[in-house]
């Protein structure tokens, strides 16, 4: 008798199909994405833990309500990140808060951003995270978010295109502009 695969080994798409047949499987989608989406929201915003939990609740309600309309030609992760993106933007508009970058950026990610924007590596290692966080806090939200998606969330251009609903060429242009804005702010503040 063949064993059923473990839930954690199923693809997102198979998990969606199971959820459409039996709503009790939705808890596995929540478990799979709750931490990732909370970290994403924290990285692009200055929302409190409670606000993040509220946003996540709204995200998962929208995901559940719209699961039948999920376009299987897209990656599920891109779809759920797009919903999260939209909820964060909606919350910004409601509260008119200014986004601030979380200081919880690990060195590997910081090195990627630093390498990508060709900043001199003369910043003290302990200062790198603080410096990049300060620069990111001054960036336009659209540019900060695209850097977070590309270098922290490590999304491909295609995935970012799906999340932001912008053509891949526009995504490439936005990433280039974001890197230029990052470098300009860095040079103005720290050179």
In SS3 terms, 108-119 reads as: HHHHHHHHHCCC
pTM of this prediction?
0.63
- Look at residue 117 in the predicted model and tell me its pLDDT: 56
Regions of the chain with pLDDT less than 70: 1-5, 95-129, 191
* Superfamily grouping for domain 107-190: PhyR, sigma-like (SL) domain (1.20.140.160)
CA nearest neighbour of 182 among 140, 130, 126: 140
Q: CATH 1.20.140.160: which residues of the chain?
A: 107-190
- Look at residue 5 in the predicted model and tell me its pLDDT: 59
Q: CATH 1.10.1740.10: which residues of the chain?
A: 7-95
- Look at residue 110 in the predicted model and tell me its pLDDT: 57
4-10, long-range: CB < 8 A, 24+ apart: 8/32
Give percent above pLDDT 70 in the chain.
79
CATH class of 7-95: mainly alpha
- Look at residue 2 in the predicted model and tell me its pLDDT: 44
In angstroms, rounded to a whole number, what is the distance separating the alpha carbons of residues 55 and 53? Answer: 5
């Amino acid at each position: 008798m063949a064993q059923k695969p473990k839930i954690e080994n199923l693809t997102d798409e198979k998990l969606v199909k199971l959820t459409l047949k039996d709503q009790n499987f939705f808890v596995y989608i929540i478990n799979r994405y709750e931490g990732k989406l909370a970290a994403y929201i924290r990285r692009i915003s200055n929302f409190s833990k409670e606000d993040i939990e509220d946003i996540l609740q709204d995200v998962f309600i929208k995901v559940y309500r719209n699961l039948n309309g999920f376009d299987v030609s897209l990656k599920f992760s891109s779809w759920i990140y797009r919903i999260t993106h939209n909820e964060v933007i909606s919350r910004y508009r409601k509260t008119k808060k200014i986004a601030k970058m979380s200081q919880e950026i690990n060195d590997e990610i910081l090195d990627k951003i630093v390498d990508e924007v060709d900043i001199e590596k003369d910043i003290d290692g302990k200062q790198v995270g603080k410096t990049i966080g300060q620069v990111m806090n001054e960036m336009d939200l659209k540019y900060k978010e695209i850097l977070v998606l590309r270098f922290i969330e490590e999304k491909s251009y295609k995935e970012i295109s799906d999340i932001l609903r912008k053509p891949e060429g526009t995504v490439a242009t936005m990433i280039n502009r974001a890197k230029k804005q990052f470098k300009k702010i860095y040079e103005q503040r720290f050179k």
